[in-house]
Amino acid sequence: MKIFQMVSLSYGAVIILLYVLGQNNFEFLKLLSSITLPMTSGFVIILSFLVFKTFGVSWRDTFGKICLSVTVAAFFLFLGDSLKALSRFGLNIPTILPLSLVDILYVGEYVMFLFALFWILFLFEKAITWKNIVATSVVSIAFATVISYILVLPILAFQRDPLDLILRIVYPFFVLFLFAISFLVFLTFFGGELGVAWCFITVGILFHTLGDLSYVYANWNNLYFAGHPLEILWLTSYILLIIGLEIYRRQFKLG
């Protein structure tokens, strides 16, 4: 297990180093981003499928529902990253209203992660404390304030299509909602031996939401480019998910 963790962390460290060293070479960054993000999210699919295979499919089994939700989320994530990468090299991505197919896949990923987290909270509801609920509420309100100031208020100053405006307002808070649920699950499991896997998984989701919020800000302000440093948040997220899923698989396989 420690070897797997070291290999995963070493892989992540090498990729992050390449990001840092290549910041002045946009063509290199474009190629690096287009390869590493889909490849690493592909590793997430493999690990989530192995976990799913361990539990099998049974809607009567809560763990089965959790594993299925995580696997589908990882699949949507991989498809979204792959299509985004291909679009940089000329692939035309279909658009439904203001949303592209990539956007829809990422929203689907979020929904499936939420399903998994809600099933976890349902399964371990007795472990949830008011202290954790209050801490989650305080952090979420603080983030909501920052999001409102940095992302929402500026777009209200410009005349936009009503549907586009609604989506630009709703999406950051949808991301915040996933952040809040992930944070609550993290606090619930933090410190427990059986919760080590879910601590890694939820922190991975937290990094992913922070990366998405950073992307929203950078993209709306025309600051984002392929290989932008914010992608390190996504890569860190994937590495943490990979480690967490492998710990989860081994715990229950050995148990």
pLDDT 10s digits, 120-159: 998 888 888 899 999 999 999 999 999 988 888 877 777 5
Mean pLDDT computed over every residue of the chain: 87
State how far the alpha carbon of 220 is from the alpha carbons of 12, 92, 101, in Å: 28, 21, 18
157 by DSSP, 3-state: which? coil
Task: Name which of 226, 234, 190 is nearest 210 in CA terms.
Answer: 234
Rounded to 10 degrees, the C-alpha dihedral 67/216/8/113 comes to -10
Domains of the chain, residue spans: 2-254
Q: Residues for the chain: how many in total?
A: 255
Contact 194, 185 (CB under 8 A): no
Percent of the chain scoring above 90 in pLDDT: 56
Residue 99 has pLDDT above 80, yes or no: no
pLDDT 10s digits, 225-248: 999 999 999 999 999 999 999 988
- Neighbour tally for 46: CB within 10 Å: 14
- Neighbour tally for 206: CB within 10 Å: 20
Give residue 2's pLDDT.
75
For residue 161, which phi and psi values (nearest 5 degrees)?
A: -60, 135
Tokens 């390449």 appear where?
18
d(CA 2, CA 243): 10
pLDDT 10s digits, 2-54: 788 889 999 999 999 999 999 889 999 999 999 999 999 999 999 988 887 77
Q: Hey, which of 156-165, 210-219, 233-242 has the most confident mean pLDDT? A: 233-242
How many Cα neighbours within 13 Å face the side chain of 126?
Answer: 0
Per-residue pLDDT band at 195 (split at 50, 70, 90): confident
Model pTM score:
0.92
